Amino acid sequence: MTQSLKLRKAPANEGGGLAQRAYHSVRAMILSRSLNAGEIVSEDRIASELSISRTPVREALLLLQSEGLIEKEMNQPFRVRLVSNREYFQTMRLRELLEGEAIAMATGKIDPDILADVNADMLKLEADPSASAEAHWAADEKLHDMIADASGNDVMASMIRDLRVTTRIFELSGLPSRFRPDTEEHLDIIAKLKAGEPGAAQVSIRAHIRSLTNDVLAFMASL
């Protein structure tokens, strides 16, 4: 990578320290596709861009590695994780099963204020065709995490988060965005949650995940 990373220089107290500054900066780079799948994440370059030492940068990269966003082989530099087609589709199938179960368990247990806040985010995205990719990803994450947490099963919620990291990395690796259908499908899921219909909510979230999977298959077939 030859261009400058242009990492955001956050205030010294933001995020709880230098390692958190580096963590949030690199994570933002990955999610905005400024760092692509398979690309080297240079400790020296990040430290230089943020004007910090390599120690907090290494701490940040180890945290990102534990989350599955980057990976490192023996005697090799850190790289943005590369997810295969096979791993992606297997992961989506697991997401369909687990998130369907989670939403059935979560229906009727979500704080109405939290649900209203997520709904407002989705309506704002729907009304703004120029909304950034980061705004879409943030709203997507808020919705799916809300459902996983409200399920009351901490192990399943953790598994769902890990699976979503895998599919997010794959979707950032060159697939066209599908923010409009995502937002519409998310609003449908929220409507089912508001109505307190666990069976209907389960159908909606599984249809949402299958819709994304089918779009990816169609895109690949067109190449």
Each residue's pLDDT, cut to its tens digit, for the chain (223 residues) gives 333 344 444 333 343 589 999 998 998 888 777 888 889 999 999 999 999 999 999 999 999 999 888 999 988 999 999 999 999 999 999 999 999 999 999 999 999 999 999 999 999 999 998 888 888 989 999 999 999 999 999 999 999 999 998 998 898 877 888 889 999 999 999 999 999 999 999 999 999 999 999 999 999 999 8
- 26 residue type, one letter: V
Contacts 24+ apart (CB under 8 A), 172-175: 172/30, 172/31, 172/33, 172/36, 172/37, 173/36, 173/37, 173/82, 173/83, 174/36, 174/37, 175/216, 175/219
Q: What domains sit in the chain, N to C, each tagged with a CATH number?
A: 14-80 (1.10.10.10), 85-222 (1.20.120.530)
- A 10 A CB-CB count for 71 gives 16
Distance of CA 54 to the CA centre of its chain: 26
pTM for this entry: 0.80
| 8 Å CB contact between 21 and 15 | yes
